[in-house]
Amino acid sequence: MSGEILDNQGRGDAGWSWPPIHPEGRKYGVIAVGISLFFLWFLNWGFIGWPLLALSVGVFAFFRDPERVVPQLGNSIVAPADGVVSLISLVEPPLELQVEDGSGSRGLPPGPVTRISIFMSVFDVHINRAPIAGTVRRLVYMPGKFMNADLDKASEENERQHILIERGDGILIGFTQIAGLVARRIVPFVKPGDTLAKGQRVGLIRFGSRVDVYLPAGTDPKVLLGQTIVAGETVLAELGSQGLLEGISQ
């Protein structure tokens, strides 16, 4: 199915299948299985081996990498992460995405913009995707703490990685992968200069974390606080579109 075109007129072929495991996670799953089998076969300690074997299944599930059908509407910004919209607020973009970095490429302009924060639990898919098509202009890693990623200050104090993508028409979208209380490593799949398709995989964060997206000025979210969203499929916003949206939790 990868790369196949599907539309709202029924074109294409789709069906459910077991999601593949990303190569980054296979080694961890194999190690977990090996340890559980050691306790089961060599030590005959079932009270440890069986829970570890169940944990091994969880490790494989954490690194699952399902295919996604990415909407190709020209001005749409898609979600870079699975999870729950935990914060929507007006903030200044991170300095790392604003200031001149010596590369000659533009950064985000100063001034308050809407930030959408997506919290990923350990049960969510943790492969992150490009919110727009374009060229990677910046990839900035920042060491930091590992406090609860659901906290507002995690965007400034936790370990994080900023990514800046420029569309062909010059529109810039910045987003940040933030490590959480359990997450201990951010793994990039891209580098500055890479050309990305919308929804293309850009990296992952291990074991619970958060992604912040900074919308351009004059653009409001099309998602609501508390909404569950899907990376590469849910439309976060449409460039230049503004207006209040309300929902009822029920």
Q: Is 155 helix (H, G, I), strand (E, B) or coil?
A: helix
- Looking at residue 149, what is its pLDDT? 56
pLDDT along the chain (250 residues), means of 10: 81 86 86 91 88 88 92 93 96 91 85 95 92 96 69 70 95 91 77 96 84 95 97 96 90
Find how far residue 127's CA is from the centre of its chain: 6
Integer Cα distance of 68 and 5 in angstroms: 11
DSSP letter at 41 equals I
Domains in the chain: boundaries: 23-62, 76-238
Which residues are catalytic, by number? 209
Asked if 85 and 226 touch (Cβ cutoff 8 Å), the reply is yes
Task: Mention the CATH class of domain 76-238.
Answer: mainly beta
